């Protein structure tokens, strides 16, 4: 989205921790690892104090994951300086609202899968506190579909500005440079799945990996199956560039960032339940004229294997599917479009001076 904002003439800096193993590069490096380091906490508070002074607006990706000392500081700053109330938030990850209200209203397999594989759940005291602190300093929220519908269903957020959005795609590839016919020309189709270590349950990786193991033997002459675990982002993109079909995740309704990046790059994608009723709601609320053609995934190795079978059987149709999905990305994930949607939301919900 920063790219879209810059194209619209705005000055933007991205601050990031590097997102763990992904080692993403940003304009400003932020260090969250300061929980038991008093000097580190002081440096972090000073850094955010400068952010509040220097920037007209701050968009936080996941405010509930900020160190508690920083959440308290931002809450106090908002209480005493309401005219400087300029922090907005994206809604991502398994926060308290998504885990509690989302679990009730979404009907997705995510929560059971995460608990099944011991990847944690909600600590009600800790996460209620984080949620309370976040509400005290965040002016408004923008979220992708599953997160958006969780938040608008939660009574505590009914008076908060909340908007539905799609993610901005990093348009790295020109349409005319993509070889959509490669699917029919290749002897072997290359399937790919990326595993984030410690989040296998979140992504459904256990089931995808099991299906890939069976498919390796069944289709050894006509398909290749690649799985990588927790590689840096640049290395991940390099590996994906050499593949044809990306199997992303099993536990949501539509798709996530890995699917979006793959569609932008002209890949075939399989992800999530592709629930028709959920898509109908999203299409209506975002005025979508068409939706992408994404192969369905569920947390079941036999079902995933059936989708591998289907993709191989539909090999001749893959070029048109890839073209269709790329056009969807261009139309609805355009960075300038998403940036303008955020700008309109921010302007409409800033506290007036």
Predicted local confidence at residue 285, as pLDDT: 98
Q: What is the CA radius of gyration of the chain?
A: 21
Residue carrying structure tokens 């508690």: 68
Q: How far is CA 229 from the centre of its chain?
A: 18
> Are residues 295 and 309 both part of a single domain?
yes
At 264, is the pLDDT very low, low, confident or very high (cuts 50, 70, 90)? very high
Q: Nearest 5 degrees, angle CA 337-CA 162-CA 353? A: 90
- Which has the closest alpha carbon to 342: 190, 186, 188, 161? 161
Specify the pLDDT at position 37. Answer: 77
Q: What is the pLDDT of residue 84?
A: 64
At residue 316, the pLDDT reads: 98
Confidence grade of residue 33 (pLDDT, cut at 50, 70, 90): low
**Exposure string for 291-319, b = 16+ CB within 10 A, e = fewer:** bbbbbbbbbebeebbebbeebbeebeebb
Residue 169 has pLDDT above 70, yes or no: yes
Confidence of residue 30 (pLDDT cuts 50, 70, 90): confident
Domain boundaries, position 71: 2-168+336-349
- Percent of the chain at pLDDT > 70 equals 97
What is the overall mean pLDDT for the chain? 93
Distance CA 294, CA 221 (A): 25
Report the alpha-carbon distance of residue 125 to residue 231 in Å, rounded: 34
How would you label 75-96 residue by residue, b for 16+ Cβ within 10 Å and e otherwise?
Answer: bebbeeeeeebbbbbbbbebbb
Q: Are residues 146 and 9 in the same domain?
A: yes
Q: What is the DSSP string of 223-259?
A: EEEEEEES--HHHHHHHHTT-SEEE--SSSSS--HHH
Largest CA distance in the chain: 67
For residue 291, the model assigns a pLDDT of: 98
Confidence at residue 38, expressed as pLDDT on a 0 to 100 scale: 81
CB atoms within 10 A of CB 230: 14
The winner for highest mean pLDDT among 87-91, 115-119, 241-245 is: 241-245
Q: Above 90 in pLDDT, residue 249? A: yes
Domain count, the chain: 2
Instruction: Count other Cβ atoms within 10 Å, centred on residue 177.
Output: 8
pLDDT value for 22: 76
Residue 319 pLDDT: 98
- Does residue 264 share a domain with residue 126? no
Predicted confidence at residue 69, as pLDDT, reads 87
Contact of 333 with 168, CB cutoff 8 Å: yes
Asked if 294 and 255 touch (Cβ cutoff 8 Å), the reply is yes
Report pLDDT digits (tens) over 273-329: 999 999 999 999 999 999 999 999 999 999 999 999 999 999 999 999 999 999 999
Q: 186 with 316, same domain?
A: yes
Residues 85 and 145 reside in one and the same domain: yes
Let me know whether 317 and 341 are in one domain.
no
Lowest mean pLDDT among 55-64, 106-115, 147-156, 174-183: 55-64
**Residues 151 and 182 reside in one and the same domain:** no
143 plus 272 within the same structural domain: no
């Amino acid at each position: 989205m920063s790219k879209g904002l810059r194209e619209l003439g705005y000055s933007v800096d991205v601050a990031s921790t590097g997102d763990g193993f992904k080692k993403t590069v940003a304009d400003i490096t932020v260090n969250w690892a300061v929980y038991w380091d008093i000097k580190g906490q002081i440096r972090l508070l000073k850094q955010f104090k400068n952010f509040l002074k220097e920037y007209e607006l701050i968009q936080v990706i996941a405010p509930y994951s900020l160190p508690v000392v920083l959440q308290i500081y931002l809450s106090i700053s908002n209480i005493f300086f309401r005219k400087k109330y300029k922090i907005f938030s994206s809604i991502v990850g398994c926060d308290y609202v998504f885990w509690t209200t989302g679990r009730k209203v979404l009907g997705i397999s995510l929560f059971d899968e995460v608990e099944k594989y011991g990847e944690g759940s909600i600590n009600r005291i800790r996460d209620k506190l984080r949620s309370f602190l976040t509400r005290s300093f965040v002016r408004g929220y923008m979220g992708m579909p599953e997160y958006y519908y969780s938040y608008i269903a939660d009574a505590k957020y009914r008076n908060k500005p909340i908007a539905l959005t799609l993610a901005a795609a990093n348009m790295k590839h020109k349409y005319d440079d993509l070889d959509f016919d490669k699917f029919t020309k290749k002897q072997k189709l290359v399937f790919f799945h990326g595993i984030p270590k410690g989040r296998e349950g979140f992504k459904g990786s256990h089931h995808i990996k099991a299906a890939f193991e069976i498919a390796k033997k069944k289709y050894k002459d006509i398909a290749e199956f690649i799985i990588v675990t927790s590689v840096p982002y640049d290395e991940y993109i390099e590996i994906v560039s050499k593949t044809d079909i990306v199997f992303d995740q099993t536990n949501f309704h539509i798709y996530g960032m890995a699917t979006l990046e793959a569609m932008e790059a002209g890949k075939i994608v399989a992800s999530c339940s592709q629930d028709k009723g959920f898509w109908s709601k999203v299409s209506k609320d975002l005025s979508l004229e068409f939706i992408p053609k994404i192969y369905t995934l569920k947390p079941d190795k036999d079902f995933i294997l059936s989708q591998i079978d289907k993709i191989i059987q539909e090999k001749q149709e893959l070029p048109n599917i890839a073209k269709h999905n790329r056009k969807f990305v261009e139309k609805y994930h355009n960075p300038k479009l998403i940036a303008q949607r955020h700008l309109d939301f921010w302007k409409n919900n800033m506290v007036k001076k």
